[in-house]
Copies of this chain bind each other. A is one copy, B any other.
Amino acid sequence: MCDSCGCHVPDQEKSTMTVDVNTSLLEANTRQAAENRRHFDAMGALVINLISSPGSGKTTLLEHTIEKLGQEMRIGVIEGDIETERDAARIRAKGAAAVQITTGGACHLDARLVHKGLHDLRQESDSDRFDIIFIENVGNLVCPATFDLGEHERMVLVSVPEGSDKPAKYPKAFTSSQHFLITKTDLLPHFDFSLAEARREALKLNPDLAILEFSATTGEGFDAWISYLRQRRIP
């Protein structure tokens, strides 16, 4: 499990037993993720898993998305955080259904937690009908990349203040995602962030990545984003 999420197991302590436990836990997660995906498909919901460091703008992206699409689509959000209910409160304030999963120390969501979150979301909204469900993972660019949650699409966010070297330094989030969202682009003049480097390094890791640039301040990128979500919505 620790190897699977990227946590280091000291060599001398590695044993067949540890590896067996790790493998078994990761296999259990994969089975649960497949079950989640069947649930999501049965509901007709497109499910998107958002992965990034703390403060990259996941919640802000969701707030703007709900403002723009909340009238025409039913949007639900499963929020993952180590502590606090703040992000779910921000989402509910925009009028979407949201449940908060606090992992109590765990550095990522797993498929079982999301399964519980889905049931809570149905209960909170008194409905089975969602067009899109966003899963906002725990703020962490490392561990969440290893865990399939049953999502249809995975998106990794990096904000301009974090630096354009992040794809090369945290590769798994990029090799396992379909989209790379570069956020806070209005700050490009103030930071030594190279869009060319970020794009080049990300595409070197994963040539199929779709790359979008966003600014919640100027509105850059939101038209393309909203069009994309409309087009991907399951009819």
Q: What mask results when residues 152 to 174 of chain A are scored 1 for a CB within 8 Å of chain B, else 0?
A: 00000001011101101111100
- Say yes or no: B10 contacts A17, CB within 8 Å: no
Tell me the count of chain A residues lying within 8 A, CB to CB, of chain B. Answer: 58
Judge if A12 is at the interface, Cβ distance under 8 Å: yes
Tell whether, in the assembled complex, residue B13 and residue A82 are in contact, meaning their CB atoms are under 8 Å apart. no
A32 to B10, CA, bound (A): 10
State which of B32, B83, B168, B190 has its C-beta within 8 Å of the C-beta of A86. B168
CB < 8 Å neighbour of A161 from B83, B103, B112, B161: B161
B54 touches A55 (CB 8 A): no
A125 close to B (CB within 8 Å)? no
A28 contact from B6, B12, B24, B53, Cβ within 8 A: B12
Complex interface: chain B residues within 8 A of A165 (CB): 84, 86
Residue of A7, A18, A25 with highest tally of chain B CB at under 10 A: A7
Give the Cβ gap from A89 to chain B, nearest Cβ, in Å: 11
* Residue A81 is within 8 A (CB to CB) of chain B in the complex: yes
Tell me the bound Cα distance from A144 to B83 in angstroms: 17
Identify which of residues 76-126 in chain A touch chain B, using a CB-to-CB cut-off of 8 Å. 81-84, 86, 103, 105-110, 112-113
Asked whether, in the complex, the Cβ of B32 is within 8 Å of the Cβ of A142, the reply is no
Known: A24-B13, A53-B139, A184-B161. A84 touches B168 (CB 8 A): yes
Say whether A29 faces chain B, with CB atoms less than 8 Å apart: yes
Q: Is A21 an interface residue (CB 8 A)?
A: yes
A1 x B7 contact (CB < 8 A): yes
Residues 1 to 37 of chain A near chain B (Cβ within 8 Å): 1-3, 5-13, 15, 17-18, 21, 24-25, 28-29, 32
> Does A143 lie at the interface of the complex (its beta carbon under 8 Å from any beta carbon of B)?
yes
Residue from B8, B11, B53, B190 in contact with A187 in the complex, judged by beta carbons closer than 8 Å: B190
Q: Within the assembled complex, what's the spacing in Å between the Cα atoms of A161 and B215?
A: 13
Sort A-B residue pairs by CB-CB distance and give the 9 closest, nearest first.
Answer: A55-B162, A8-B106, A161-B161, A107-B142, A1-B2, A5-B7, A6-B107, A53-B53, A10-B112
Sampled A-B contacts (18; CB under 8 Å): A5-B7, A6-B82, A6-B105, A7-B108, A7-B143, A8-B113, A12-B28, A13-B24, A53-B54, A55-B161, A55-B166, A82-B142, A84-B169, A105-B172, A140-B142, A142-B143, A143-B143, A187-B190
